[in-house]
Structure 1
Amino acid sequence: MDIHNPTYVPGHQLLAGKSVLITAAAGAGIGFAAALKAVQEGCRGIVISDIHEGRLNEAVEMLKKETGLDQVYGKTCNVADEEQVQALVAFAEEKLGGVDVLINNAGLGTSKALIDMADDEWMKVIDVTLNGTMRMTRQMMKVMKARGQGGVIVNNSSVLGWRAQKEQAHYAAAKAGVMALTRCAALEAAEFGVRINSVAPSLCAHPMLKKSAPEALLKQLEGREAYGRGAEAWEVANVMIFLASDYSSYLTGENIACSSQQA
């Protein structure tokens, strides 16, 4: 494979027979890419969620059309709302007959210098990106523990949990929190057979980023990558699917960098 111009990797049934729940999966980024890969890897059913109902309905229909899987369901959810989180997990449990894999993809990022940042700007990013991941993880852990059949949780973190970038203090703090949450929750969940890991992308070249970020900044970020480009969303999704599969059976509490970024 040409690492500078990668070719999409077909499925190999890594999730055959498993059921999957993914948050923030109705856009054109990592969440939907992970949903598509999960189906292509043989999952028996999938629930995707998003805060945007119209976009979510379109994503459900697109997944059905592109994959031929009938067991594709959507439910709106704001992960900043505990009642909606509980309702989403209950919905997925009912529709899928139990969730085997949860992928926490929901997150919120903005660019703002810390010195100019208001408390509500800080808290909004923290509440969606860190607290939302915690709420979903906590609720899924309760359900998986009660069911007694194990399971897997995969969180979306970021290399900014390790590395510094201007105007990203709130997002970096949230993602560092996701990493710490992953490590600590994994120790607790190991007692009842649930694995929890996270994926830390560096630069992912999805359409939303290209639309929102200044071109000069994107060029600068691409210049830091060893391959001179951002990851395709499906390349990040591949790592998520690996962590969700039995191929990573001895991995828990790990934060896997999906990055070609140079030090």
Structure 2
Amino acid sequence: MTDRFDLSGKTALVTGASGGLGRHFAMTLAGAGATVVVAARRTDKLAETVGAIADGGGTAHAVPMDVTERDSIKAAFDAAEAAAGTVGVIVNNAGIVDREMALEVSQEHWDSVIATNLSGVWAVAQEAAQRMVAAESGGAIVNIASLLAKRVSKGIMPYTVSKAGVAHLTRSLAVEWAAHGIRVNALAPGYFETDLNRDYLRSEATQPMIGRIPAGRVGDKSELEGPLLLLASDAGAYMTGVVLSVDGGHAVNAF
């Protein structure tokens, strides 16, 4: 049974892999046997991800990619294929968030978040799918949505809209691309502790929010590994168009 989660012989590309959950996703795929191509604008940080994967016995390559630029995406895929062959697994993780109340959100703020979090996901998915179709290889695309694709939170309106868009984009692409052997699913994480948010999530200010999570706590990033591998591997071969919540029950709690 565990063999169905194995990614040996496959090449995976992870966007936004310079740190945080993106780096962890890349290391998870490498741990399952995939050759991993890590992509981000911050190429200096990508070297750290490649090093961490190598230290764990895996194989990784770094390519620069700006998901808001089509030419950059194409160049990154060209480099990935030259280094590791046809990409069969995509983790569309790149994303940004800025806190600002809706009355103050500028057009520039809105455009920036949508360009990265929604249009960027679409552009990477389309580039990947076009190459998968040309290679007749099929593949798995895992978009990273959010708990906030289903709920809203004050002060991050463009982000919540973008993630709701990612969820529906995932379903739409799944319907169109299934005939080509391409599965398109999404992970919708709740609140997970990372180096960037650890102090915030452990602060007194966040305790009322954490108290509304049925599981009674935030997630540990290791708890995303199984769901990610399910969607990326043959273990999820009959799954497409799924937006998989991994949030301790937060999305279904009405209070």
With structure 1 as the length reference, what TM-score do the two structures score?
Answer: 0.90
Moved over 4 A (4+): 10-13, 211-214
Distance 1:198 1:168 in 2: 21
Specify which of 206, 212, 228 is matched with residue 224 of structure 1. Answer: 212
**CA distance, structure 1, for counterparts of residue 21 and residue 3 of structure 2:** 17
How much is the aligned-residue C-alpha RMSD, in angstroms?
Answer: 1.9
Q: Structure 1 residue 105: deviation in Å?
A: 0.5
What SS does structure 2 have at the residue aligned with 1:22? Answer: strand
One-letter amino acid of the counterpart of residue 222, structure 1 = I
Structure 1, unmatched stretches of 5+, are 1-9
Amino acid at match of 1:15: L
Aligned-pair distance for 1:139? 0.4
Contact 1:57 1:74 in 2 (8 A): yes
Map of 1:17 onto structure 2:
9
* 1:122-164 Cα shifts (integer Å, max 9, x gaps): 1111111111101100100100011101111000001111112
Distance 1:164 1:81 in 2: 28
How many aligned residue pairs are there? 250
Is the CA contact (8 Å cut-off) linking 2:184 and 2:240 kept in structure 1?
Answer: yes
Q: Which amino acid aligns with 2:107?
A: D
Counterparts of 1:180-199 in structure 2, within 5 Å, are 180-199=168-187
Gaps of 5+ in 2: none
Q: 48-57 vs 231-240, which deviates more?
A: 231-240
**8 Å contact from structure 2 (residues 5, 230) kept in 1:** no
Decide which of 125, 140, 143 is 1:155's aligned counterpart: 143
How far 1:13 sits from its partner (Å)? 5.3
Describe the shift of the 1:11–1:233 C-alpha distance in structure 2 as closer, same or farther (beyond 3 A): farther
Distance 1:180 1:12 in 2: 27
Question: How much has 1:33 moved relative to structure 2?
Answer: 1.0
Q: Closer, same or farther in 2 for the Cα pair 1:158/1:144, shift >3 Å? A: same
Is 1:35 aligned with 2:26? Answer: yes
| C-alpha contact 1:13 1:42 (8 A) present in aligned 2 | no
TM-score (norm 2): 0.92
